Chains A and B, each alone.
Chain A
């Protein structure tokens, strides 16, 4: 027997349970990366058959047809044809089809068979088919198709046994290749013939789907259910993530102190480790609880089949703004944190819609803006009741949230106008059967997301935190320093230079200096303002001292201008790093940062000038 490892490619329609089958076969032995130059996920794994032979398994993106309409489908087609650069043609194609939806899935099976490569058909979800009383004459199907057919249940332990045994045997002979594509009706006639000869279906849809959809897609009840679900998820994100995030912060600080305990307190190395490396590590890890909790819910909604339903309900509203219904969940997640929001845009098929969603996601008011908003509102907006019931401070906070949403819709609309490619964006979205999410698939999904975040994004964040530490620490203050140390550093000098640019929008030089380290993350701005004003003590002490101080030193116009700045300004390296990772382009990062800073400046300018003129 040859020692070469057989390369198998898994292909199939979306929602055929292909990824669950991949997880079943490979377990945790997966490598997730992107195909070179594009942001389509490439998943590869290995498994060993009981005979001891190992196999390499490539999970290709779901496709309805080789007449590709998305980058995902184009990759599936090119890899199957052996035309994708840097990717060897597979030795065997395993085509996965949902046994409860053969009318649709057999079309793709026929297309794959015509490639002229060895093919095995895996009839998946045989358990669901049995439950619905669907009877398939597997031997007859195999005879008519001329390719081996095996039955699988991807979500059941040992459910892929028949498939493993089949691929461990002789590689089946390839069907003759047929380069002339059939028309849609020719393919369909063949499918109809196959179905008539091999499959009996008591009813077209599952009764449980019909019952659930009557509620989930109801014009009124459907919206109520969606709103309730979203409310619950948000409650969970904020109430579950907060204590863990506090714990991580405290743990990292303690670890930093412990590691650097033997170093002299005033030394540069002590400061680099504490304020650079460990602060950077904390900045990366602190996002993890929110990312995990949000993705847990997103994955459950996706696996259960609810996500496309939510997209169905909201498509009209989102479409008017130049987006798609599928953008709703990513944008909603961005209210907690733009990082999981941007990572969740992978469920948007149209690359143009996906890019627009990524571009506007940072405008959603994420939780990191709240410390800045709270500080400024408490210091400058009087605690007064207006109109009998409304708290003025609450109104200002609401206006800030609304400004974010409104500008996101406006920006999406502008992007749609500016785009050169005006061809129609397709919705055409399958609403799959409801399914009980499988714990292993959710766990592997979460594991993947955390790895992507920590590896690809963490490195950039860590490097930039250290760079900002360097800017804020060197050169050190002279011996007879009268001002806070940061004022003598490079960051201080940059801040003073920035003051020329920011004077028209009402920022004093202290704000400008604080903005430089504040580039790391929005919530850092409060701490760095504290540093600039040479506050000491714990975080709470700094906030209360700072509030009193700035309410005396700043004008109301300056405070409002800074609030407006924070609605737009992309003062978050992690967001920019994740845009880089998800769009694979620094150009998109530059565009996003450029337009967000531009909007921030314009909004602050207008706010400051109007407020100054009125007072």
Chain B
């Protein structure tokens, strides 16, 4: 599943960040910001128009990502308690 498809509030784990094209600087930046395998991630809010951008919480930090950026991140949804 892609981070852009994750329902709001659902806990998930990052699996990987995929390059959209060779030497993709946006994918590299996401990795540098801590989007690496095994990190817990969650959608906190969505933009008011068309649900874009997404507000993503990773660790203790919140990032606004456009859908196209979030689509680079694959996640595994955790079973909700």
List chain B residues, Cβ under 8 A from A100.
Answer: 60
A427 close to B (CB within 8 Å): yes
Q: How far is the CA of A317 from the CA of B50 in the complex (A)?
A: 10
- Decide yes or no whether A64 CB sits under 8 A from chain B: yes
Q: Is B7 an interface residue (CB 8 A)?
A: no
Q: Mark A198-229, 1 if CB is under 8 A from B, else 0.
A: 00010011000000010001011011000000
Q: Whole-angstrom distance between the alpha carbons of A424 and B62 in the complex?
A: 21
A313 at interface, CB cutoff 8 A: yes
The segment from A396-404, A428-436, A509-517 found at the interface with B is A428-436
Most buried by A among B26, B37, B39, B46: B26
Q: Residue A205 contacts which of B29, B50, B57 (CB distance < 8 angstroms)?
A: B57
Which of B28, B32, B44, B46 is most buried by chain A, counting CB atoms within 10 A of its CB?
B32
B69 close to A (CB within 8 Å): yes
B interface residues, how many (CB within 8 angstroms):
34
B29, B50, B61: the one within 8 Å of A69 (CB): B29
Residues on A with beta carbons closer than 8 Å to the beta carbon of B25: 69, 423, 426
**Which residues of chain B (20-64) have a CB below 8 Å from chain A?**
20, 25-26, 28-34, 36-37, 39, 44-50, 52-53, 55, 57, 59-64
In the complex, what's the smallest C-beta–C-beta distance from B74 to chain A, in angstroms?
14
Cβ of A287 under 8 Å from chain B:
no
User: Are B61 and A430 touching (Cβ within 8 A)?
Assistant: yes
Contact A217 B45 (CB under 8 A): yes
Is the pair A188, B30 in contact by a Cβ cutoff of 8 Å?
no
Complex CA–CA separation, A65 to B33 (angstroms)? 8
If A69-B29, A104-B34 touch, does A428 touch B52 (CB 8 Å cutoff)?
Answer: no
CB of B17 to closest CB in A, whole Å: 8
Docked-complex contact A219 and B60, CB < 8 angstroms? no
Cα A60 to Cα B55 with chains together (Å): 28
Most A CB atoms within 10 A — which of B28, B44, B46, B61?
B61
Q: Does A31 interact with chain B (Cβ within 8 Å)?
A: no
Contact check, B36 vs A184: say whether CB atoms are below 8 A apart: yes
Out of B59, B61, B65, name the residue touching A427 (CB < 8 Å). B65
- Report which of A204, A223, A424 forms a contact with B59, defined as CB distance below 8 A: A204
Residues of chain B within 8 A of A325, CB atoms compared: 53, 64
Contact of A424 among B26, B33, B55 (CB under 8 A): B26
- A185 CB within 8 Å of chain B: yes
Q: A67-B32, A188-B34, A424-B68 are in contact. Are A431 and B55 (CB under 8 A)?
A: yes
Contact size range, A: 35 or more
> Which A residues between 183 and 197 are near B, CB-CB below 8 angstroms?
184-185, 188
Flag whether A315 is at the interface (Cβ < 8 A).
yes
A65-B29 contact given A428-B65, A428-B69, CB 8 Å threshold: yes
- Report the minimal beta-carbon distance from B3 to chain A, rounded to whole angstroms: 13
Whether B76 is near chain A, meaning CB under 8 Å from some CB there, is: no
Known: A104-B34, A312-B55, A426-B29. A431 touches B62 (CB 8 A): yes
Instruction: State A461–B14 Cα separation when bound (angstroms).
Output: 55
Closest Cβ of chain A to B42, distance in Å, is 9
Minimum Cβ distance to chain A for residue B8 (Å): 11
A47–B63 Cα gap in the complex (Å)?
A: 35
Q: Which residues of B contact A427 (CB under 8 A)?
A: 53, 64-66, 69
B47, B53, B63: the one within 8 Å of A430 (CB): B63
The residues of A that contact B69 with a CB separation of less than 8 Å are 426-428
How far is B59's CA from A515's CA once the two chains are assembled, in angstroms?
59
- A104 x B60 contact (CB < 8 A): yes
A103 contacts B47, C-beta separation under 8 Å: no
The smallest beta-carbon distance between B80 and chain A, in angstroms, is 17
CA distance A428 to B27 in the complex (A): 11
A67 with B61: CB separation less than 8 A = no
- Tell me whether A316 and B60 are in contact (CB under 8 A): no
Q: Is the CB of B52 within 8 A of A426?
A: no
Q: Would you call A184 and B64 a contact (CB within 8 A)?
A: no
A316 to B55, CA, bound (A): 13
**Complex: how many Å from CA A131 to CA B60?**
15
- Give the CA-CA distance A313 to B51 in the complex, in Å: 10
A104/B65 in contact, CB under 8 A: no
Assess whether B53 is in contact with A184, with CB atoms less than 8 Å apart: no
A322 within 8 A of B: no
Bound state CA distance, A184 and B33, in angstroms? Answer: 9
* Distance to closest chain A CB from B23 (angstroms): 11
Say if the beta carbon of A101 comes within 8 Å of chain B: yes
- Closest residue of chain B to A104 (Cβ to Cβ) is B61
Assuming the contacts A184-B36, A188-B36, A428-B33, asked whether A313 and B57 have C-beta atoms less than 8 A apart, the reply is: no
Shortest CB-to-CB span from B49 to chain A, Å, is: 4
Q: Which of A65, A319, A424, A430 has the most CB of B within 10 A?
A: A424
Whether B28 pairs with A67 at a CB distance below 8 angstroms is yes
Q: In the complex, what distance in Å separates the CA atom of A316 from the CA atom of B63?
A: 15
B interface footprint on A562-603 (CB within 8 Å = 1, 0 otherwise): 000000000000000000000000000000000000000000
Q: Is A522 an interface residue (CB 8 A)?
A: no
Task: Decide: B34 and A103 in contact? CB cutoff 8 A.
Answer: yes
Decide if A184 touches B48 in the complex (CB within 8 Å): no
Contact of A316 among B39, B52, B62, B65 (CB under 8 A): B52
A300 at the interface (CB under 8 A from B): no
Interface residues of A in 276-333 (CB under 8 A from B): 308, 311-313, 315-317, 319, 325
* Chain A nearest Cβ from B46, distance in angstroms: 8
For B32, give its contact among A64, A219, A315, A317 (CB under 8 Å): A64
Complex interface: chain B residues within 8 A of A113 (CB): none
By beta carbon, the residue of chain A nearest B48 is A219
Q: Which residue of B lies closest to A312 (CB)?
A: B64
Can you list 26 A-B pairs with a CB-CB distance of less than 8 A?
A: A64-B33, A65-B32, A67-B28, A100-B60, A103-B59, A104-B33, A104-B34, A184-B28, A184-B36, A185-B31, A185-B37, A204-B60, A205-B57, A217-B55, A223-B48, A315-B52, A315-B66, A316-B50, A319-B66, A423-B25, A427-B69, A428-B63, A429-B64, A430-B61, A430-B64, A431-B55
**Additional 8 contacts, C-beta under 8 A, given A103-B59, A217-B44:** A69-B29, A104-B33, A213-B45, A222-B48, A311-B64, A325-B64, A424-B68, A431-B63
Give 4 nearest A-B pairs by CB, closest first: A184-B31, A103-B59, A219-B48, A65-B32
